[in-house]
Structure 1
Amino acid sequence: MERTSLCVPIVILLMQCFPSLPVTVSTNKQKVEVHEFSDAVLSCIFRTERDQNPRIEWKKKGKDVSFVYFDGHFRGPFEERASIDGATVTLRKVTQEDAGEYRCEISAPFDSVNLGETNVTLRVLVPPNTPACEIPSAAVTGSAVQLRCRDQQSIPPATYAWYKDDQLMIPLRHANATYLINTQTGLLEFKAVAKEDSGRYSCRASNGVGKPTMCEGRHMTIEDVNVTAVVVAVVVICLVVLVCGCGGFLMHRNGFFTQGHRGRSFWISECHGAAHISSQNLNRTEDTSNVNYIPPPQEPQDFKHTQSFML
């Protein structure tokens, strides 16, 4: 009895010194970066208190949480191209649609703490595509000109370098620089172009993933302004406007536009008068014709008839 009474406190003391651990979940790598169309390993390591067969679930966060692995099977787009070892998942031939944040959940109903989770972020790296370049074909000396280069698909975002006649243009930082290059946005800006800025320009995009790419080069010509021709054209236009304005003013002042209106009224009244006179002349002609009218001779009447009438 004494030995038994001594063992109970010892067991209680050992349990207090070495408490049982609840379910714990962790990962070897919280941020995973892989190239597009390669395999991605999302690690999930767990340890349970008593439950030897916990439930394993993988979910992908987004606007809506979707299942990746549930009830012992992969779901959705991962059904045919993913595998699991313990709780670690391997996704094969990942694309940009697979990028995002994933969560590994371990449920152990028989543990004192029966749920644990860890998060893994997947980033899919994309090499630069051929950048879109905007290069004007011509410009006038002294004008401000901008050349643009952009690739919207590369991850991480690409940086840009400009070439003139296949020679790298070094970004200038001093105040008197004739051009400025923004390597982050791909903008090449000339404050005031000169004849020597004529040449063939191209742009290169790179982000450390895959090979850099370049857009097709395009020639930009800088032309001088013909000051004499511009001045002559302006003077001629001014003279034409002045002559037209003076001519219109003088014609209005001399009553040309008013006389024209009166002339039209006079012509209309004259036409009405002429029509009235013509009508009167026509009537007179008809009266004259009636006065000169001679009736045809009558045939002689029967003598006997007349005499009998008188009787």
Structure 2
Amino acid sequence: MAETRILLLLLLCVCRILAVVVVSRNKKPVVLEHESVELSCIIEDSDTTTPRIEWKKSRGGETSYVFFNNNIVGDLMGRAELLSRSSLIIHNTSRTDNATYRCEVAALNDGKKFDEVTIELTVQVKPVTPRCSVPKAVPAGKTAVLHCRENEGYPNSMYRWYRNSEPLPDSSKSNPKFVNSSFTLDPRTGTLVFSAVSKADTGHYYCIATNEAGSAKCEEQELEVYDLNIAAIVGGVLVVILVLGLITLAICWAYRKGYFANRKPKGKSYKTPAKPEGVNYLRTDDEGDFRHKSSFVI
């Protein structure tokens, strides 16, 4: 019985010697673009002082080496280095560094035991100036759509519209202050829709795109809402119809009076003189035209 216990203890010791234990202080690090970040991979236990260490990167379904055969490889070459034997530091991070990284450590012995740790890196990118579209003038009662969008920020930006430097809520119905308006705002797409604009919606509009890395604002643009004068439009149409009717009557009267009838031109009429009877014309290349009487005999 004692021998069995000793054997089990020996087996446990051997297993522990052959084992590799890897841990990380931060499995989901977050960093701003262009800054440095550490991907922590700490070897807590190993039977060798020179284990085999490899780093791999997975992005978009593709996996590639980052650290292999004691060298930085791939797109991190020149921007990354190993710290404290197994941790990875990335300098001047970019949006392409957003990926899942795997640190693999193997003991160089007959057992070939290894351990690994997975780290999800998020590189936050500040939004760029969004592209804003605001109609210049819209008649009262009509639909108006304002657009705001940028595609550089990561994570995706959220959008907020401002009128005369005052933020607009997601819906005019949610705030009694905007009871005279009829708009809805989608913060994810940056689209502001007025179902029927009113004079109260006239003002200067701009949009701000925001994410965890920062914010950006587009230039202010003016939206004018004008009243549609139905009476003036109807009056203008009637005037045009009246003018066209008068022109038509004038043309008809002129036709009846004969002002458009064809008239013979004044003056003498010149006609080609008729050939004298009994005279024929002959033409030669050398002599030109000459005439002779019918009685002329060669």
Do these two structures clear the TM 0.5 threshold for a shared fold by scoring above it?
yes
Q: Give the match for residue 268 of structure 2.
A: none
Pairing of 1:1-311 with structure 2 (within 5 A)? 8-15=3-10, 20-21=15-16, 22-47=19-44, 50-62=47-59, 64-84=62-82, 85-110=84-109, 112-172=111-171, 174=173, 178-210=182-214, 212-232=215-235, 234=237, 236=240, 282=275, 284=277, 286=279
Instruction: Determine helix, strand or coil for the equivalent of 1:206.
Output: strand
Instruction: Determine helix, strand or coil for the equivalent of 1:219.
Output: strand
**Which whole-Å CA distance do the structure 2 matches of 1:142 and 1:173 have between them?**
16
Task: Return the offset for 1:292.
Answer: 11
Task: Return the offset for 1:144.
Answer: 0.3
Choose 1 or 2 for highest CA Rg: 1
Task: Return the offset for 1:122.
Answer: 1.0
Change in CA separation of 1:61 and 1:284 when aligned onto 2, cut-off 3 Å: same
How many percent of aligned residue pairs carry the same amino acid?
Answer: 28
**Which whole-Å CA distance do the structure 1 matches of 2:200 and 2:216 have between them?**
27
Instruction: Determine helix, strand or coil for the equivalent of 1:20.
Output: helix
- Work out whether residues 173 and 182 of structure 2, in 8 Å CA contact, stay in contact via their aligned partners in 1: no
**Which whole-Å CA distance do the structure 2 matches of 1:283 and 1:158 have between them?**
102
Select the structure that is richer in strand. 2
Whichever residue aligns with residue 142 of structure 1, its letter is G
**Which whole-Å CA distance do the structure 2 matches of 1:146 and 1:69 have between them?**
51
Task: Return the offset for 1:70.
Answer: 1.7
Over residues 205-238 of structure 1, what are the superposed CA-to-partner deviations in whole Å (9 max), with x where a residue is unaligned? 222323x332111111112223244335555469
Instruction: Determine helix, strand or coil for the equivalent of 2:7.
Output: helix
Task: Return the offset for 1:7.
Answer: 7.0
**Which whole-Å CA distance do the structure 2 matches of 1:39 and 1:145 have between them?**
45
Instruction: Determine helix, strand or coil for the equivalent of 2:59.
Output: coil
Over residues 101-151 of structure 1, what are the superposed CA-to-partner deviations in whole Å (9 max), with x where a residue is unaligned? 212122224253533322211111122222211111111111100111122
Task: Return the offset for 1:66.
Answer: 2.7
**Which whole-Å CA distance do the structure 2 matches of 1:234 and 1:153 have between them?**
51
Instruction: Determine helix, strand or coil for the equivalent of 1:65.
Output: strand
- Work out whether residues 102 and 118 of structure 2, in 8 Å CA contact, stay in contact via their aligned partners in 1: yes
**Which whole-Å CA distance do the structure 2 matches of 1:283 and 1:114 have between them?**
132
- TM-score (norm: length of structure 2): 0.71
Over residues 236-285 of structure 1, what are the superposed CA-to-partner deviations in whole Å (9 max), with x where a residue is unaligned? 469969x99xx9xxxxxxxxxxxxxxxxxxxxxxxxxxx9xx99x75855
- Work out whether residues 82 and 91 of structure 1, in 8 Å CA contact, stay in contact via their aligned partners in 2: yes
Structure 1 unaligned residues grouped into runs of 5+:
1-5, 248-274, 294-311
CA RMSD of aligned residues (A): 3.6
Task: Return the offset for 1:75.
Answer: 2.2
Over residues 67-117 of structure 1, what are the superposed CA-to-partner deviations in whole Å (9 max), with x where a residue is unaligned? 221222222443433232121111122111222121212222425353332
**Which whole-Å CA distance do the structure 2 matches of 1:103 and 1:133 have between them?**
41
**Which whole-Å CA distance do the structure 1 matches of 2:234 and 2:207 have between them?**
39
Whichever residue aligns with residue 203 of structure 1, its letter is C
Instruction: Determine helix, strand or coil for the equivalent of 1:14.
Output: helix
Change in CA separation of 1:208 and 1:102 when aligned onto 2, cut-off 3 Å: closer
- Work out whether residues 50 and 108 of structure 2, in 8 Å CA contact, stay in contact via their aligned partners in 1: no
- Work out whether residues 171 and 184 of structure 2, in 8 Å CA contact, stay in contact via their aligned partners in 1: yes
- Work out whether residues 59 and 98 of structure 2, in 8 Å CA contact, stay in contact via their aligned partners in 1: no
Whichever residue aligns with residue 74 of structure 1, its letter is I
Instruction: Determine helix, strand or coil for the equivalent of 1:143.
Output: coil
**Which whole-Å CA distance do the structure 2 matches of 1:18 and 1:114 have between them?**
14
Deviates more, 1:163-172 or 1:7-16: 7-16
Over residues 28-83 of structure 1, what are the superposed CA-to-partner deviations in whole Å (9 max), with x where a residue is unaligned? 32211111121111111335553442111112223643322122222244343323
**Which whole-Å CA distance do the structure 2 matches of 1:91 and 1:10 have between them?**
49
Deviates more, 1:54-63 or 1:30-39: 54-63
**Which whole-Å CA distance do the structure 2 matches of 1:156 and 1:103 have between them?**
22
Instruction: Determine helix, strand or coil for the equivalent of 1:161.
Output: strand
**Which whole-Å CA distance do the structure 1 matches of 2:89 and 2:295 have between them?**
131
